């Protein structure tokens, strides 16, 4: 995440920083009014990736959660195969998989506008 955001920051032209300094812009104001709007797409992308990593985590809930009432959706989907060891209930597994992917899809569609908007807007015209 840090490498991704660093690469995004290095792509911002230094002419913007120099122009802001000449105009008397302080570091916090420069960050807030110049860098943050230009980094919005990268930040939203990282939020989506971070959420997907936590939402789809299987190993940590399997290790730390022992009570079946507290199982996450991904652990429950995996446990369907152990409950129905001989004959898996595939329609139930597929329905649960669709429910598991919905929050990630909704998050992506909500932030998609910001990601595309930040790619369309550039800081300096060449």
pTM of the model: 0.72
2-120 has which fold? Answer: MetI-like fold (1.10.3720)
Please report the pLDDT score of residue 44 as a whole number: 84
Query: Cβ distance 45 to 115 under 8 Å?
Result: yes
Rounded-to-integer distance, Cα 73 and Cα 126, Å: 49
**pLDDT per position as a tens digit, 76-94:** 888 887 766 667 778 888 8
Q: CB of 74 within 8 A of CB of 100? A: yes
HSE of 7, CA atoms in CB hemisphere, 13 A: 7
Q: How far is CA 30 from the centre of its chain?
A: 25
Mean pLDDT of the chain: 83
Tokens of 8: 């995004």
Q: What string of pLDDT tens digits covers the 126 residues of the chain?
A: 888 888 888 888 889 889 989 999 998 999 898 888 888 888 888 888 888 889 988 899 989 998 888 989 888 888 887 766 667 778 888 899 999 999 988 988 888 887 676 566 544 444
CA 123/CA 16 separation, integer angstroms: 7
């Amino acid at each position: 995440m840090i490498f991704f955001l660093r690469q995004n920051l290095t792509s911002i032209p230094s002419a913007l920083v120099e122009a802001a300094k000449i105009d008397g812009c302080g570091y916090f104001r420069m960050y807030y009014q110049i860098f943050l709007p230009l980094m919005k797409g990268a930040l939203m992308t990282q939020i989506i990736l971070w959420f997907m990593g936590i939402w789809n985590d299987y190993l940590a809930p399997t290790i730390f959660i022992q009570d079946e009432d507290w199982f996450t959706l991904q652990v429950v989907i995996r446990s369907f195969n152990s409950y129905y060891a001989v004959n898996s209930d595939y329609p139930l597994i597929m329905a649960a998989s669709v429910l598991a992917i919905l929050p990630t899809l909704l998050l992506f569609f909500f932030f998609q506008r910001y990601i595309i908007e930040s790619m369309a807007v550039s800081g300096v015209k060449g």
